[in-house]
Structure 1
Amino acid sequence: MAVSPFLTLVRWPNLLMILLTQVLVKYFLFEPFGIATVLSHLEFALLVISMMSLAAAGNIINDIHDTVADKINKPHKLIIGTTISEKTAWNWFMVLNIIGVGIGFYLSNIVGKPSFVALFILPSAFLYFYATQIKGTLLVGNLVVSIMVAMIIVMVGIFDLVPAITPQNLQTQKVMFSILIDYAVFAFLVNFIREMVKDQEDITGDYNAGYNTLPVLLGRKRTNMIIFAVTLLPLAGVLYYIYTYLYESQPAMLYVLLLVMGPLLYFLVRLTGAETKRDFHKLSHILKFVLAAGILSIGLYKFVLL
């Protein structure tokens, strides 16, 4: 079944991943352990809608300012200027930002932390700044996008856990928040690696668009070496987690070994011989799978710890 151009433009699978990630955190990590939270079901739904709206707006502004490179890198997937006009895309960008920040303002006041609205304004501003100013700056754009991905996990803790902290539950809340930070770091690293792989895939269009990406500056072989080295970080983190938390639960350990660590090792093997656009496209999909499998493992905690 054909997907509408608008849903393609906002990257609907990524938006569904935001929904799934935040649902897992609240209902499969917080609730099974009876963790003190402040958001009602409706307020949590509003938080998810806000994050999805801001992410969708970021995807739109990225496409608006990426048409030159996209005409070379993926002409068959070009939406802006073909099925959706640039003016319509700008209108949707504004509407989605207003929805995201507006909900953020409401929720910040609901939880008694008005200053938290900055956590909605800053991502919106950073995504705009990324697409219009720093997308072609060496590694900076990659870092901005990866930080945004990590924040999807942390935001649930900031709005649901932090306002519920009392002297009595401080230690429990800190443990839960530390778990979120661990997942956020994992998501940041894997997405950062994927952004570099995507730069490898899009080197021709990026060069013609004047983007100063790592492959454009160093070439594909040297960039592969950097990607290999950075990939060792999440791999080491996964090993640490298996040894520290999962060794007593064989199903959880097998899940992480087969669906997270295994694909990461396979990625490293394939990376050593990657040279073509098609090679890097496949590697990008492997990392997308690793990221999804890693986040889905949040649902394992109630089986491991309870």
Structure 2
Amino acid sequence: MKYLNLIRYRNLLFLALVQILLKYSLFPKVHAETTLTNFGFFLLVIATLSIAAAGNIINDILDVEIDKINKPKTVLIGKKISEKTANSLFIILNILGVTLGFYLANSIGKPSFAALFILISALLYLYAAYLKGIFLIGNLLVSALVAISLLIVGLFELLPAISAENQFAQRAVFIIVFHYALFAFSLNFIREIVKDLEDINGDKNGGMNTLAIALGRKRTMKIVFALGAILTLGTVFYVYEYLYQLQIIVLYFLFAIIAPMLYFCIKAWEAETQSQFHFLSQLLKVIMFLGICSIPIFNL
């Protein structure tokens, strides 16, 4: 169990779920032409999860002292798992992910796509080692990588299957994937700022310069509220503009996504304590899960 907690297995399961829903729920419903076989897609999921798991490990290795302050009960490195073992797992998972990515890129005739896995692996290391504590840069980077984990399915499944006859349809499907990725990016960016508020004491001790440290809790929470309100209004506009004819999807978005986001904004306006910040962080995770669960509704 300690190794599962080290790689953040719940987050990895969530990542696998969204990729599976895109492949087996969205693409068949909209009659998209896809490239990968079931086995090839399985390798894509494993490659993505391996690199993400490696990123989680190196983040824990480099943040041991900070985590001793922010979350002392959950520290694994140096207590239940040695740093040497963790480093070995980090290297093995990165090699596995990049190797599978190289194989998949060549199997679909797009060898240049292999560079994407190398880039993601490198960025996750840079995030943990240098960029995490730089004002907003770390937040933006990790949120972008979350979005890329969705876009990579479209890149490997849709783009190689484009032909003169289906290019308009393939483009339309990829835009849907992009919209989900944009939603994931926006929601995760807000959550990263909330997590910085929750971890402000340890981050100060670690010499970081997060938004919460630079502006203080109250000002940062006002920004969180504003971002939440903008995302809520943007979601309402999106539903009105693109989904108004799909009654079931409209109802789902109203009650499962927009309503919780409004509740988040209300709670964000009055949040002051670490426990309240933690609640907001978990609420955003639930909203993201509910957003991804809207994918199967297209089948209805």
- Provide TM-score, normalisation by structure 2: 0.98
Match of 2:203 among 192, 203, 206: 206
Match in the other structure for 1:237: 234
Residue 234 of structure 1 and its aligned partner are, at CA, apart by 2.2
Residue 294 of structure 1 and its aligned partner are, at CA, apart by 0.7
Match of 2:169 among 168, 172, 180: 172
> Are 1:141 and 2:138 matched, yes or no?
yes
**Which segment drifts farther, 188-197 or 24-33?**
24-33
Match of 2:107 among 107, 110, 118: 110
Q: Deviations over 1:261-299 (max 9, x none)?
A: 111110110011111110000000110011111111111
Q: Which runs of 5+ in 1 are unaligned?
A: none
Q: Deviations over 1:176-216 (max 9, x none)?
A: 00111111110000000000000000000100111111111
What's the RMSD between the two structures over aligned residues?
0.9
Match in the other structure for 2:290: 293
**Which segment drifts farther, 246-255 or 6-15?**
246-255
The residue type paired with residue 65 of structure 1 is: L
Residue 245 of structure 1 and its aligned partner are, at CA, apart by 3.2
The residue type paired with residue 220 of structure 2 is: T
The residue type paired with residue 275 of structure 2 is: R
Q: Deviations over 1:215-250 (max 9, x none)?
A: 111100010111122223321231123212332333
Residue 26 of structure 1 and its aligned partner are, at CA, apart by 0.8
Match in the other structure for 1:223: 220
The residue type paired with residue 35 of structure 1 is: A
Residue 300 of structure 1 and its aligned partner are, at CA, apart by 1.6
Structure 2 CA distance for aligned equivalents of residues 283 and 12 of structure 1: 21
Moved over 4 A (4+): none
Secondary structure in structure 2 of the residue aligned to 1:206: helix
Structure 1 CA distance for aligned equivalents of residues 267 and 14 of structure 2: 26
Match of 1:44 among 36, 41, 51: 41
Match of 2:64 among 54, 63, 67: 67
**Which segment drifts farther, 249-258 or 92-101?**
249-258
Residue 33 of structure 1 and its aligned partner are, at CA, apart by 2.5
Match in the other structure for 1:270: 267
Identity of aligned residues (%): 51
